[in-house]
Amino acid sequence: FLGYLKANNKSMKYDKELAQAVWKYKKNTGITVDDLITPRLVSSLNVPMADRIKSIIFNMERCRWISSDFNQAEEFIFINIPSYELRYFKNGKTILESKVVVGKAMNKTVVFNADMKYIVFNPYWNVPKSILKKEILPAIQKDPNYLVKNDMEWHEGIVRQKPGPKNALGQVKFLFPNSNAIYLHDTPSKSLFDREKRAFSHGCIRIEKPKELLHLLMKEDKNWSPEKIETTLTERKEKWYTLQKKIPVFIGYF
């Protein structure tokens, strides 16, 4: 009925034609793309059509929440929370797709939009007070060398993690100032991108392809060459840069 399979040949074998239909269905419904018949696939196929229609109605309503600037921007970044995906659009075309990790249930990533203004190379990670209280301080009590082992230090009354391979923000973060204190960043925990459901963060958004995004954002900036970008990333010194052109970032739930 959905058109993924041209005809039912009534064969009891899981043939190549059916496997290709399964692959296409998974790709369009946000399930990890392969040709395996999994419990999640069977569950998805059994969702009643009435429920699908309700989902479409909900998403149409959510479209009304998005700023009208969305339709007018020549380039923008769109992050869809439930599909764990980032897309960078320019002149109506997708120039980058990347998996993302979003906030877990206790720290959900919120729906909003703001303009990206700054790039931070080799950022310090200033540990939020909530994480300091719940995770870092108990860890220090168990192991007095915890901060040293994790490249952390006390700085002006807070704990921060130094730039380097252990840094929770990776090599770069992308800032679009907002009241939710949410931003995009690299991560050393690359294995999380292999998971089908990727809600693990404290609210900020981790990107699978931070370098690709960085190079695209700086491509038309005469102050930066690809070589200079890569050299700066290896210096392990925090460096802020103001983008010459603000890029709208939209975070939605569809």
pLDDT in tens, 172-228: 999 999 998 899 999 998 998 988 788 888 788 999 999 999 999 999 999 999 999
> Contact 118/243 with Cβ under 8 angstroms?
yes
pTM, rounded to two decimals: 0.81
Pairwise CA distance, residues 48 & 236, whole Å: 53
Counting Cα atoms < 13 Å in the Cβ hemisphere of 50 gives 0
* Percentage of residues of the chain with pLDDT beyond 70: 99
Confidence of residue 106 (pLDDT cuts 50, 70, 90): low
Q: 190 in the Ramachandran plot: left (φ > 0), alpha (ψ -120 to 50) or beta?
A: alpha
Q: 157 in the Ramachandran plot: left (φ > 0), alpha (ψ -120 to 50) or beta?
A: left
Pairwise CA distance, residues 171 & 121, whole Å: 6
- Residue 33, pLDDT > 90, answer no
Residue of 63, 155, 202, 204 marked catalytic: 204
Predicted local distance difference test score (pLDDT) of residue 172: 97
Mean pLDDT of the chain: 91
Predicted local distance difference test score (pLDDT) of residue 202: 75
Q: State yes or no: is 202 an active-site residue.
A: no
- Residue 117, pLDDT > 90, answer yes
- Residue 70, pLDDT > 80, answer no
Predicted local distance difference test score (pLDDT) of residue 203: 81
Pairwise CA distance, residues 181 & 159, whole Å: 17
Predicted local distance difference test score (pLDDT) of residue 175: 97
Lowest mean pLDDT: which of 49-53, 131-135, 196-200, 240-244? 196-200
Q: State yes or no: is 155 an active-site residue.
A: no
> Contact 207/185 with Cβ under 8 angstroms?
yes
Residue of 155, 185, 202, 215 marked catalytic: 185
Read off the pLDDT of residues 152-176 as tens digits, 9 standing for 90 and up: 999 998 999 999 989 999 999 999 9
Return the number of other C-beta atoms located less than 10 Å from residue 120's C-beta.
Answer: 19
Q: Identify the residue whose tokens are 């380039």.
A: 75
Predicted local distance difference test score (pLDDT) of residue 63: 83
Report which of residues 125 and 203 the model is more confident about: 125
Predicted local distance difference test score (pLDDT) of residue 32: 82
List Cα–Cα distances, 169 to 75, 133, 180, 201, in angstroms. Answer: 25, 19, 17, 11
